[in-house]
Amino acid sequence: SQKIEQNSEALNIQEGKTATLTCNYTNYSPAYLQWYRQDPGRGPVFLLLIRENEKEKRKERLKVTFDTTLKQSLFHITASQPADSATYLCALDITGGGNKLTFGTGTQLKVEL
């Protein structure tokens, strides 16, 4: 069966450190992978997209990698701040998937002072 796995345990890190979140998938052939941020009681907000033929994408303090051999994406936040505390969701846009996204369960990040 098809699965998208994100670490269900919250990730706690100190301010200033780099946070690394993982998204693993099985039995998918994604054309694109997207990362979203969700704050409590709010809808997800798009952060970054990476295509299957791209290895890495950066935007300010954010970096995403995509390894289609390992079937894994890593999401990095450098110089993390308490304001980065939120739940981060990965989503796959599958070739032939009918313009749909399939979301992972999300990982909660807490950045402490």
Partner 1 sequence: DGGITQSPKYLFRKEGQNVTLSCEQNLNHDAMYWYRQDPGQGLRLIYYSQIVNDFQKGDIAEGYSVSREKKESFPLTVTSAQKNPTAFYLCASRSLLGERNQPQHFGDGTRLSIL
Q: Which residues bind partner 1 (CB under 8 A)?
A: 8, 31-32, 34, 36, 41-46, 49, 51, 89, 91, 93, 98-106
Please, is 110 exposed, middle or buried when counting C-beta atoms within 10 Å of its C-beta (0-12, 13-18, 19+)?
middle
What's the closest the beta carbon of residue 67 comes to partner 1, in angstroms?
A: 19
Sign of CA dihedral 38, 44, 45, 47: positive
Q: What's the CA dihedral at 39, 80, 35, 109 to 10 degrees?
A: -50
Cβ nearer to partner 1, comparing 13 with 31? 31
User: How far apart are alpha carbons 66 and 73 in whole angstroms?
Assistant: 4
What's the closest the beta carbon of residue 92 comes to partner 1, in angstroms?
A: 12
Cβ nearer to partner 1, comparing 40 with 113? 40
Cβ nearer to partner 1, comparing 36 with 75? 36
Candidates 4, 1, 20, 16; CA nearest to 109 is 20
Cβ nearer to partner 1, comparing 44 with 85? 44
What's the closest the beta carbon of residue 43 comes to partner 1, in angstroms?
A: 3
What's the closest the beta carbon of residue 49 comes to partner 1, in angstroms?
A: 6
